Structure 1
Amino acid sequence: MIRRVWPLVVAAVSLGIDAYVLAGVLPRIADSLAATVGAIGLGVTAFTGAYAVAGPLLSGPLTAVSTRRGLLVALGVFNAGNLATALAPDLWVFLGSRVVSGTGAGVLTAVATAAAAGMVAPRERGRAMALVTFGLSAGTVAGVPAGMLVGEQAGWRWTMGLVVAVGVVSMLALAVRSRPMPPVGGGDGRTLSSIAVPQVAGGVALAFLFGLGSLGLYTYLLPMAAERGMADWGFAFVWAWGIGGVAGSALAGGPIDAVGSHRLLPLVAGLLLASFTILALLDGPAVWLVAVALWGACGWSGVPALQDALTRSRPERTTSIVAFQMAAMYLGAAVGAALGSALLGAGVSAGRLPAWAAACGVAALLLALLVVRPRRRPRTG
């Protein structure tokens, strides 16, 4: 199976790097473009906003004729935006390039996930979608530190060059792939109507909560550790979160196909809540290493589990549903980061942020139970 979907996994790796790599080189970009760190940070907002809008609106039209063409166009836009970022002479070109890159990324995530699901037998659907999520998590975990190292040695522009290089490799792999790619749907005018299905709407809301609590809290992992007297362990926690995320996304596919996402999704949400609760109530490096790894594993494994729960019974809408789900997740991450900043500004200590995330986790668990609840069939006769 991996031979069929590996170009899509490589594309996901480039997305994973790009979504977070700027956080590690913001001061260098600010110095280079004679701007403030806050202004450069708007690039993350520009990327996320474009991602959220483009995925649901453009995925269907771009794949209406050909899945391969839609993927190549999305990758081309994504790579062009990142190349423009690497060459940006000033703040405004930089921000505009992040909009372009986010547009390509939003389409690419949805189409790549739907294409991976369509390239395998139904019994392997969960594993195929989990592989794309594995690419996202692996890009974040391995690519971001590599990008920071490149930025320190050669400059931030070469960091973006790394993202472009990975994206070009994926584009070439798709271009030379001889096997036809399955149609992924979404070009029949029903893209926006997908969100009107109650289970899908609930799943999109759940994706927002996952982003809000999991990815939003990750922004403050280092200050959280410092506040609780474990500053020296900060980067160990970052790696524990990342390794947990890679492992969770890599291993989630098998259980999804074996026992069903309707069973796995509430379990993932419950374990995510447990990890936040442990971080809120207990101290100590050993306990935190385990809890942070569990947090990363659940945060990333929840992505394919939710995708499968929402799309297995409606595969023709996989592209549009995944587009809404991923847009909601990244919007939740942005809102979570902003909410964390507001809480810290209001006097809440960083060490108390896991308690706030746990409250979000309770809501996520309840919503997960509603999303997977069997739908009642209308009585006949």
Structure 2
Amino acid sequence: MIAFVLMLCAFAVGTSEFVVVGVLPEVASDLGVPLSVAGLLVTGYAIAVAVGGPVLTVFTRRLPRRPLLIGVMALGVAGSLLSSIAENYTVLMGARMVAALAQGLFFAVASQVATASVPPERQTAAIAKVVNGVALSTVAGVPVGTLVGQAYGWRASFVLVTALAAIGMLGVILACPKVDHAPDAGFRASMHVFGRRSILLGLTTTVLAFTGMITTFTYVTPALREITGFSPGWATVVLLVYGLGTVVGSNIAGRVRPELIPRVLPFTIGALSLVLLVQGMAMHTKATSVLALFLLGASAFATGPLLHTWLMRQAEPAGGLVASVNISAFNVAAALGPVLGGAVITGGFGLDLVGPVAALPALAGLGVAFLVRGWARRQDQAAQPDGAARPLPVAA
């Protein structure tokens, strides 16, 4: 039950982040600001998640997880509700920052609750359930929120998100068990975690792999229209196939036992890199473009839960902080991806080359994933000279 509740909460916070994208013209017109300024509501949100999430995680590290999760969802409700009644751009930006702080802290706390609620061998599956909520928000939450906003005004989009967050909070109140809270490692010990080779390798892999994915995904809609020849309506339908791929990928990741993650990670990132390499060619026919988008979503969202689970296991007892920083790493990728793809387009190379260029950071991430695999193997051999199998260590 708690897995479903956490997935619902993740669905709410995922919808909260991107629902404004679909109603940006309406927001800009109603509040009397240029569209470019309205677009900063997305940028500001991402920055607040990346910076505020780890900071709040540090300051709340000693609080019990269940009441903290309730408070996080209450903060999300407040941020979305304030967004729905904001009378000017400044208030709306402030409300978005409140919601962003809730999201940044949510993934740290939810990851801890999810893994603490299941046996160790089910931890990857528990993280995958949370990631499923984010995946579903791209498939259903954001499109539905956009339709609601276009039909009833942009404020209605935030009313919808408020309702989703409130339902998630109620679910936490009713279904979240009291989970054991790991002993506080202290501020210095928590910061020391980031000197571990395993943590640095994992975070680097997140940035590189998802910079590649986001570079392509940012410009996939114009590619579907201009290269493949889909009409705007059909291009939107095709994106649902990508969403289906994200759900399939996260469910595949959930079947991987935590101790096997270093062995599996190169395969998922390798698949992602291959999809990106052939993306330009695949976009020239409708059948291959649909297949490529499905595989893009599946490979990326199979990689995400694996990295997140492995990093948390390596970081104990500072797993929550590292989970939050990993979300920040993803947001760094979200900032770098559009810039890299934009440079390809403005350089006159065309949409065909966005995918192959995006494959470069993904391939670099593949190289780091092999380093992760080698590091884990050496640690295992050092601990068990006789070659006996054992779970991967939790510290570098």
* Alignment TM class, shorter chain as reference: over 0.9
Q: Return the alpha-carbon distance in structure 2 between the equivalents of residues 146 and 83 of structure 1.
A: 18
Aligned match of 1:28 in 23, 26, 29? 26
Partner AA of 1:307 in structure 2: H
1:216 is the counterpart of 2:218:
no
Q: 1:316 aligns to what SS in structure 2?
A: coil
Change (3 A) 1:258 1:308: closer
Aligned match of 1:52 in 50, 53, 56? 50
Alignment of 1:1-381 (within 5 A): 3-177=1-175, 179-184=177-182, 188-189=186-187, 190-232=189-231, 233-254=234-255, 256-257=256-257, 260-282=260-282, 283-375=284-376, 376-377=378-379
Q: Return the alpha-carbon distance in structure 2 between the equivalents of residues 43 and 258 of structure 1.
A: 37
Deviation, 1:251, is: 2.9
Q: 1:294 aligns to what SS in structure 2?
A: helix
Asked if the contact 2:266/2:366 (under 8 Å) is kept, the reply is yes
Partner AA of 2:372 in structure 1: V
Change (3 A) 1:334 1:185: farther
Q: Return the alpha-carbon distance in structure 1 between the equivalents of residues 45 and 198 of structure 2.
A: 28
Asked if the contact 1:226/1:234 (under 8 Å) is kept, the reply is yes
Partner AA of 2:215 in structure 1: G
Change (3 A) 1:83 1:348: farther
Asked if the contact 1:26/1:41 (under 8 Å) is kept, the reply is yes
Structure 1: state its 5+ residue gaps: none
Change (3 A) 1:345 1:54: same
Deviation, 1:151, is: 1.0
Q: 2:374 aligns to what SS in structure 1?
A: coil
Deviation, 1:241, is: 1.0
Residue by residue over 1:289-324, the C-alpha shift from the partner in whole angstroms, topping out at 9 and shown as x without a partner, is: 111100001111211111222233444222111111
Deviation, 1:341, is: 2.7
Asked if the contact 2:65/2:181 (under 8 Å) is kept, the reply is yes
Asked if the contact 2:18/2:142 (under 8 Å) is kept, the reply is yes
Q: Return the alpha-carbon distance in structure 2 between the equivalents of residues 357 and 21 of structure 1.
A: 25
Identity %: 28
Q: 2:375 aligns to what SS in structure 1?
A: coil
Q: Return the alpha-carbon distance in structure 2 between the equivalents of residues 210 and 157 of structure 1.
A: 35
Q: Return the alpha-carbon distance in structure 2 between the equivalents of residues 325 and 185 of structure 1.
A: 21
Partner AA of 1:20 in structure 2: F
Residue by residue over 1:265-287, the C-alpha shift from the partner in whole angstroms, topping out at 9 and shown as x without a partner, is: 11110100111122123421111
Deviates more, 1:211-220 or 1:119-128: 211-220
Residue by residue over 1:123-167, the C-alpha shift from the partner in whole angstroms, topping out at 9 and shown as x without a partner, is: 111111110001111112110111111012111111111111111
How many residue pairs match? The answer is: 378
Change (3 A) 1:379 1:292: closer
Q: Return the alpha-carbon distance in structure 2 between the equivalents of residues 211 and 367 of structure 1.
A: 13
Asked if the contact 1:221/1:234 (under 8 Å) is kept, the reply is no
Asked if the contact 1:210/1:329 (under 8 Å) is kept, the reply is no
Deviation, 1:79, is: 1.9
Asked if the contact 1:213/1:333 (under 8 Å) is kept, the reply is no
Q: Return the alpha-carbon distance in structure 2 between the equivalents of residues 161 and 373 of structure 1.
A: 49
Question: RMSD of the TM alignment (CA)?
Answer: 2.1
Q: Return the alpha-carbon distance in structure 2 between the equivalents of residues 30 and 371 of structure 1.
A: 45
Q: Return the alpha-carbon distance in structure 2 between the equivalents of residues 310 and 259 of structure 1.
A: 12
Deviation, 1:379, is: 9.4
Change (3 A) 1:210 1:22: farther
Deviates more, 1:56-65 or 1:301-310: 56-65
Partner AA of 1:264 in structure 2: V
Deviation, 1:30, is: 0.8
Deviates more, 1:121-130 or 1:59-68: 59-68
Partner AA of 1:323 in structure 2: S
Asked if the contact 2:185/2:317 (under 8 Å) is kept, the reply is no
Q: Return the alpha-carbon distance in structure 1 between the equivalents of residues 45 and 115 of structure 2.
A: 26
Q: Return the alpha-carbon distance in structure 1 between the equivalents of residues 259 and 193 of structure 2.
A: 26
Partner AA of 1:6 in structure 2: F
What TM-score results when the alignment is normalised by the length of structure 2? 0.90
Partner AA of 1:154 in structure 2: Y
Partner AA of 1:299 in structure 2: A
Asked if the contact 1:52/1:331 (under 8 Å) is kept, the reply is yes
Deviation, 1:344, is: 2.5
Change (3 A) 1:186 1:273: farther
Asked if the contact 1:66/1:183 (under 8 Å) is kept, the reply is yes
Asked if the contact 2:66/2:176 (under 8 Å) is kept, the reply is no
Change (3 A) 1:193 1:76: farther
Partner AA of 1:269 in structure 2: I
Deviation, 1:360, is: 1.8
Structure 2: state its 5+ residue gaps: 385-396
Residue by residue over 1:9-50, the C-alpha shift from the partner in whole angstroms, topping out at 9 and shown as x without a partner, is: 111011221222121111111111111111111011111111
